[in-house]
Amino acid sequence: MLTIRNLKCWYGGIEALSGVTLSVGQGELVALIGANGSGKSTLLQAVCGLLPGWKGEISFEKVPLNKKKPQDIVAGGICMVPEGRLVFGPLSVLDNLKLGAYLRYRKRDHYGIKKDLDKIFSLFPILAQRSGQHAGTLSGGEQQMLSIGRALMARPKLLLLDEPSMGLAPLVARLIFDTLAELREDGLTILIVEQNARAALMIADRGYVLETGRMVLAGKAKELLADEEIKRAYLGKDYARFTEGRA
Amino acid sequence: MPEFYQYLFSGLTNGAIYAIIALGFSMLFAATDLINFAHGEFVMIGALILVTLWPVMGLPLPLAFVITVLATGILGIVFERLAIRTVKKPDPIVLVIITVGAGIFLRGVAMIIWGKTAKGAPPFSKMPPLEIGGAYLLAQSVWILGIVLATVLVMHFFYSRTLTGKAMSACAINKRAASLLGIATQRMTLLAFAVSAALGGMAGVIIAPITMNEYEMGAILGLKGFCAAMLGGLGNSWGAVVGGFALGIAEAMAVGYVSSSMKDAVAFLLLLLILYVRPTGILGGKAIARF
């Protein structure tokens, strides 16, 4: 569905991605893991059209995305839940969700929007309770739910998530991951970028590991979870032994 | 007491005009982070177009009103397209200086088109002034207050009830997030320029009958509007309205009770004071509240 070949990106002269290849198939949940600064978010931004000037190939449903504007990419069916949630704080929760369906309102799909709104409210009941409140008054976890709900309101074919568990309490993060697994069961294709590698790989079908702009590992999520190298570098398997000596 | 009312009426009239100019500054700043120092020139051009269309060419007033507002709105679009969007590296400071330059340019063009002599316009209606508490309220003042009030209500409706208005707020809050939802942020910027310029043009229309209209009138009106926007909190639409009326009334009181030479000084004294005591303005700046 999404195919990325030999993608190179630059951030003001610095090469952030040096030839990355990745694919996401219809109905898959793919996790992209890696440390800070490995280029995970850069990759998502390139897909969304927020980072012009990349080289290589990105195509979605066989249509190349070169030089497309963000709004055309959204119209094509790719929606991103950005890092740091970026909800519109001074607007109400309901308005945030409605703006998610902005392009569908332009197409006068009022009936479909109403139905999807109910679906979001049953997915995240807390949003229904707070629908009149300013989004800025929500807690971090609620804002993350709102950000995901807002992206879903566009009825995407492919949902991209940039660090959805960042800064959330473990319980809330788990709720978010459970929801993603649920959405996948309903047939949504998802690409998730995460630092919390274990949580992401637990719900993913396949995973990729990015290190300083290069793809160093790829495979089934289960195999990656068992991989010694990944355990050491990303899953914190040795953490207990590491701290024992110091206590 | 009658003189107090007289000063108050004069302050409300000027305040309404400052408010609508400030609203133009403020909404453009909210949407683009840009202070348009050419904004006063749109007021001047609005006034001069109205003078040409209505008393000179003899068009009916409502028609002249609509054409003037539309024309200034289109001028705002042309301004954005030619002077703002073409900039390769749109740093805020570069853009602000471009608006200063564009203001000088517009003033020059207006001088060539309309000449240097000031032109007057008759009041909108020939009703006698209303007498309230021993003071007189001009019919034109009633027109000005009514039109400004209606405009504020329309803007409020636009921002709080329409999808485009909300999309514009979303762009103002976070452009990146807005573009991720498929909102064409560039088109929203264009729309903000058009609405802001049209608001300026409307200020020109309503002020035309109570002032001498000439090519240089925009600079001081623009500065007063800017002061009012700062006073209320730049980027905050209600703040622009509050700031406009506060400035107008303070000015009128200072002129009445202190000295008429204080008129222009008051605006800048108030601006300095507010920057010193409460730099975000009376109602707070951009992030806190909008229509």
pLDDT digits (tens, 9 = 90+) for A88-127: 998 999 999 999 999 999 999 999 999 999 999 999 999 9
- End-of-domain residue from the set A154, A185, A212: A154
Mean pLDDT of chain B: 92
Domain extent at residue A67: 2-77+156-244
What's at B143, amino acid-wise?
A: W
Nearest chain A residue (CA) to B167:
A99
List CB contacts (< 8 A) between B163 and chain A: 98-99, 102, 105
pLDDT band with cut points at 50, 70 and 90 for residue A234: confident
Of B181, B289, B290, the CB nearest to A100: B181
Q: What is the number of CB-based contacts under 8 A between chain A and chain B? A: 68
How many other CB atoms are found less than 10 A from the CB of residue B11? Answer: 23
Nearest to B163 among A48, A70, A105 (CB): A105
Position A138 scores a pLDDT of 95
Q: Do A50 and B289 touch (CB under 8 A)?
A: no
pTM for this one? 0.88
**Do A232 and A162 lie in a common domain?**
yes
Query: β-pairing, A55-60 with A63-64?
Result: antiparallel
pLDDT digits 0-9 by tens, A74-89: 999 999 999 999 999 9
Tokens found for residue B207: 């002020």
Q: Please report the DSSP string for A172-232 in residue order.
A: HHHHHHHHHHHHHHTT-EEEEEES-HHHHHHH-SEEEEEETTEEEEEEEHHHHHH-HHHII
Q: Do B170 and A88 touch (CB under 8 A)?
A: yes
CA–CA dist A177, A165 (Å, integer): 8
pLDDT per residue as tens digits for the range B50-72 = 999 999 999 999 999 999 999 99
ipTM above 0.85, yes or no: yes
Q: How far is CA B228 from CA A202, B150, B189, B262, in A?
A: 57, 19, 23, 17
Give the whole-angstrom CA distance, residue A175 versus residue B158. Answer: 37
Contact B180 A98 (CB under 8 A): no
Q: Choosing among A73, A79, A102, which should be mutated to test the B contact, i.e. which has the most B CBs within 10 A?
A: A102
Domain chopping of chain B, boundaries:
16-121+150-277
CA B20, CA B27: separation in Å to the nearest integer? 11
Same domain for A73 and A165, yes or no, is: yes
First to last CA, chain A: 49
Could you tell me the two tokens for B111?
Answer: 């001088």
Residue A131 and residue A209 in one domain: no
Q: Does A71 touch chain B (CB under 8 A)?
A: yes
Q: Does A52 touch chain B (CB under 8 A)?
A: no
Q: How confident is the model over A204-233, as a mean pLDDT?
A: 88
Tally of domains in chain A: 2
Q: Is A132 found in the same domain as A90?
A: yes
pLDDT of A245 > 50? The answer is no
Q: Do A48 and A165 fall within a single domain? A: yes
- Burial environment of residue B46 by CB neighbours within 10 A (0 to 12, 13 to 18, 19 or more): buried
Distance (Å, rounded) from C-alpha B227 to C-alpha B274?
10
The answer to whether A81 touches B181, Cβ cutoff 8 Å, is no
The DSSP letter of residue B261 is G
Model confidence over B208-227: pLDDT tens digits? Answer: 999 999 999 999 999 999 99
SS3 at position A16: strand
Q: Are residues A163 and A191 in the same domain?
A: yes
Q: Are A169 and A192 in contact (CB under 8 A)?
A: no
- Order of strands across the sheet with A55-60? A14-24, A2-11, A55-60, A63-64
pLDDT of res. A236: 63
Reported as a single tens digit per residue, the pLDDT across A44-79 is 999 999 988 899 999 999 999 998 999 999 999 999
Cα–Cα separations (whole angstroms), residue B40 to B43, B72, B203, B263: 5, 12, 10, 18
The DSSP result for A63-132, as a single string, is EE-TT--HHHHHHTTEEEE-TT----TTSBHHHHHHHHTHHHHHTT-HHHHHHHHHHHHHHSHHHHHTTT
Spatial CB neighbours of A28, under 8 Å, sequence gap ≥ 6: A1, A189, A190, A205, A206
- A131/A100 same-domain check: yes
Are residues A71 and B169, on separate chains, in Cβ contact within 8 Å? no
* Residue tagged 């709720």 (tokens): A175
A32 & A143 share domain: no
Q: Does residue A206 share a domain with residue A142?
A: no
Site from B176, B181, B286 to mutate, A interface, most A CB atoms within 10 angstroms: B181
* Cα–Cα nearest to B46, from B63, B68, B18, B20: B68
Amino acid at A141: G
Both A59 and A173 in one domain: the answer is: yes
pLDDT range class, residue B290, cuts 50, 70, 90: very low
